Copies of this chain bind each other. A is one copy, B any other.
């Protein structure tokens, strides 16, 4: 078999059974090899950012890496923004980038560029496979590197001749590296939590999922500590029957107030909170002076096991942690606003839903509206690179065909990777897309004020304005093969949402709403 065939076989044997692809000429042998390995599913995207974001969403839901298949440096470039988000999410991802044949590089042909250097921006593990014989073991090392801990984007660069040359053998999977349980840190954290000071447990990374979250809630209940989560968790378990957790708010100055009383923070696969951006006369570091920071588990540690050990150390196993009571908002009525949309989502969100949230400012009321909805997973914009929400929804839907996916999208963000809709249609994915169309980069209107840019005139304002022409998302969605409709009242939106959730396959609902700011 040739290198590409051995590569695909090796990936499947190592548990990588889905590839989100946007291939070109240099990847044609990989594409041809798909038919030689029945277990590998290939999902085509019309833009690389769809593929990389989908691979991120897939792994957030399965814990297993997907592969991407990208075309040389420009293809990697198009995929970078969502690889950046995946890096911040600590997502395991095997990022396969085709390259010119090794002997062709010397000619500096049109598509030649420095793939390795660009990949280092998102990948600590980058390797250009140098021979067909080494390719399968390179692949197994890529998978293990991707899995971590911590999970990461591992980039395997695949020269065309390494793929097409014959004589390869698949390689058996390598053992996954086990995360450490930080015993000393458990002791320290137990002491801190016993001392009775104003203490918070801040959860991030792998600690915001159901089981570790319940352990953390038990600890909080036993010790009186506050339970916090990072602003944009990669995957947050929430809803009725799940312990509620307070997220650090996005706006730095408000977050600083939220955190102002703290004397101790115990970090669980999270960083001490910092502002998204630096602002004139606003703090970058958000914990108050003198607040002591203790790390229970770092990104390479087994955070769930550390929390379980901490429960034991605190003798909190019998403590009943409070959980979110079941409660839904009334179906909204009247004018269609972003708040009404959030309420409708809260009123109708089905059991076991996966919510991909890139609603940005329009999602202000989302957390409250859905807090008591049936238990669901929330996938957030981990790296701040907008255009993540629709691709992540694609990946989550591929990963979990039996769970409904709801993608809540701001208009501006949706347009970076709008090609995702086509993949939803092609694959028949059960995704309900809600577009909050406020016809503006609304968050930037706020940020223009926050940075103190006081001279904003008509040219500046035009840069934040998405009207003129208004974007018709219903037409765009239908053009890309997704059934779509536009709601003009809260009642109509709610009816449309109910129908979209009930029907299998993708749907899009456009909600033209005023800006919440």
Contacting pair A462 B42 (CB below 8 A): yes
In chain A, positions 258-311 with a C-beta closer than 8 Å to chain B are 271, 274-280, 284-285
Identify which of residues 10-35 in chain A touch chain B, using a CB-to-CB cut-off of 8 Å: 21, 23-26, 28-29, 31-35
- B469 and A481 contacting across the interface, CB-CB below 8 Å: yes
Contact with B along A59-103 (1 / 0, CB 8 A): 000000000000001111111110111001000000000001101
CA distance A160 to B468 in the complex (A): 29
Name which of A46, A120, A425 has the most chain B CB atoms within 10 A of its CB: A46
A444 proximity list for chain B (CB < 8 A): 23-25, 28, 31
Tell yes or no: A372 within 8 A of B by CB: no
Tell me the bound Cα distance from A462 to B36 in angstroms: 14
Q: Which residue of B lies closest to A419 (CB)?
A: B415
A517 at interface, CB cutoff 8 A? no
Contact A451 B29 (CB under 8 A): yes
Q: Contact between A478 and B475 (Cβ–Cβ < 8 Å)?
A: yes
- Is A74 a contact of B78 with CB atoms below 8 Å? no
In angstroms, how far is the closest chain B Cβ from the Cβ of A171? 21
Whether a CB of chain B sits under 8 angstroms from the CB of A368 is: no
How many residues from A make CB contacts under 8 Å with B? 107
Contact code string A214-228 (vs B, CB < 8 Å = 1, else 0): 000000000000000
Contact B121–A415 (Cβ < 8 Å): no
CA distance in complex: A460, B28 (Å):
8
Q: A73-B84, A164-B453, A448-B32 are in contact. Are A274 and B107 (CB under 8 A)?
A: yes
* Cβ-defined contact, A110 with B33, below 8 A: no
A76 to B466, CA, bound (A): 21
A100 touches B35 (CB 8 A): no
**A102-118 CB contacts (< 8 Å) to partner B:** 103-104, 107-111, 113-114, 117-118
Task: List residues 311-337 of chain A with CB under 8 A from any CB of chain B.
Answer: none
Interface residues of A in 450-477 (CB under 8 A from B): 450-460, 462-464, 466, 468-477
A479 engages B468 (CB within 8 Å): no
Q: Would A418 and B418 count as touching, CB distance under 8 A?
A: yes
CB distance from A433 to the nearest CB of B (A): 14
Does the CB pair B463–A42 fall under 8 Å? yes
Instruction: Decide if A136 is an interface residue (CB 8 Å cutoff).
Output: no
B81:A383 contact, CB within 8 angstroms = no
Contact between chains at A472 and B479 (CB < 8 Å): yes
Of A35, A117, A278, A462, which is in contact with the most chain B CB atoms at under 10 Å from its CB?
A278
Q: Please give me the 7 A-B residue pairs with the lowest Cβ-Cβ distance, nearest first.
A: A77-B80, A469-B481, A35-B457, A101-B278, A475-B479, A104-B278, A74-B385
23 contacts between A and B (CB under 8 A): A23-B463, A28-B444, A31-B460, A33-B455, A35-B459, A36-B455, A74-B80, A77-B79, A100-B277, A104-B278, A108-B271, A110-B384, A111-B383, A113-B121, A114-B121, A118-B118, A160-B278, A415-B419, A415-B422, A471-B479, A472-B479, A473-B479, A477-B479
